[in-house]
Amino acid sequence: MFKDTSLLVLIIAAAGLVVNIITLIVVIGVLKKFKKEAVMLDAGQAAVAVEASVQKEKPAGGQSKPAAAAGAGVVFCRNCGSPFDSNNAACPQCNTPRGYRKEEGT
């Protein structure tokens, strides 16, 4: 049928080029779709993480903690050295107020 092989090679090369172009278009379309889904997923995960952190800061009654309580922790009395909650105004052991500083020489 084809006596001249150069024409056959040209037809096969053109067909291969067309197949490669179609494949490239399909791959680009699929990547765009996955990228959009990934962005939506990231936004969804961020929303879930924010919701979880809000729920974690709420006590059982459902009311939010005050801003000062969000950074609550343990502090140590400068007078007796015992640990107590940072929300307390004074040491429960010796009733020394927070922020008390011993005078030098005593």
**Predicted confidence pLDDT, tens digits, the chain (106 residues):** 556 788 889 999 999 999 999 999 999 998 888 877 776 656 555 556 555 555 555 555 544 445 444 556 888 888 888 888 888 888 889 988 887 776 665 5
Q: Which of 64, 93, 69, 99 is nearest to 81 (CA)?
A: 93
pTM here is: 0.35
d(CA 38, CA 48): 15
d(CA 58, CA 75): 23
The per-residue pLDDT for 62 is 47
Helix (H) / strand (E) containing 82: none
